[in-house]
Amino acid sequence: MTTSYLINIAVCVGMMLVGRSRLLPLWSFMGRVLAVLDSIPVCWMWGGMSFDAVTNPLVCIGVPLALAVALVVWGLRKLEVATFDLGAFLLLNLIVGRFFLPTWSFLAKAGVLAGCGLALGGATVALLIWKKRRAA
């Protein structure tokens, strides 16, 4: 599982790098989307359901966290709302995946989920306002 995940992320990063050249601009965005979609199941492993001797906790936590931070920073630097949202979505999946343990109450799960949704919406609106002010 760990090896195939790292290979998939390496392919997605390769797509992002190839897409940075002016020849294939859509590949960069598709590489970001595929990396996030590939990382979502790994984020939910942190919830304690699937950590065993086969999976490496450093890979299951570190790689999605590094990818999320990189996408958020990239989105803020370039003022790309979609890239920022992808990174924030992945980061919030790490948070929600951690708090959705079977031992937590339903109210706590709902509070974390609602808080993460409000944080994502608020951050997106703030970035759009900031982008509009920088353009003016």
Per-residue pLDDT of the chain (136 residues; tens, 9 = 90+): 678 888 888 999 888 888 887 778 888 899 999 999 998 888 777 655 555 545 677 777 888 889 999 999 998 898 889 999 999 999 888 888 777 777 778 888 888 888 888 988 998 999 999 989 988 7
Q: What is the distance between the alpha carbons of residues 62 and 70, in angstroms, rounded to a whole number?
A: 12
Q: What are phi and psi of 121, to 5 degrees?
A: -65, -45
Q: What is the distance between the alpha carbons of residues 108 and 59, in angstroms, rounded to a whole number?
A: 27
In whole angstroms, what separates CA 108 from the centre of its chain?
A: 22
Q: Are 47 and 38 in contact (CB under 8 A)?
A: no
Q: pTM here?
A: 0.80
Q: What is the distance between the alpha carbons of residues 124 and 64, in angstroms, rounded to a whole number?
A: 20
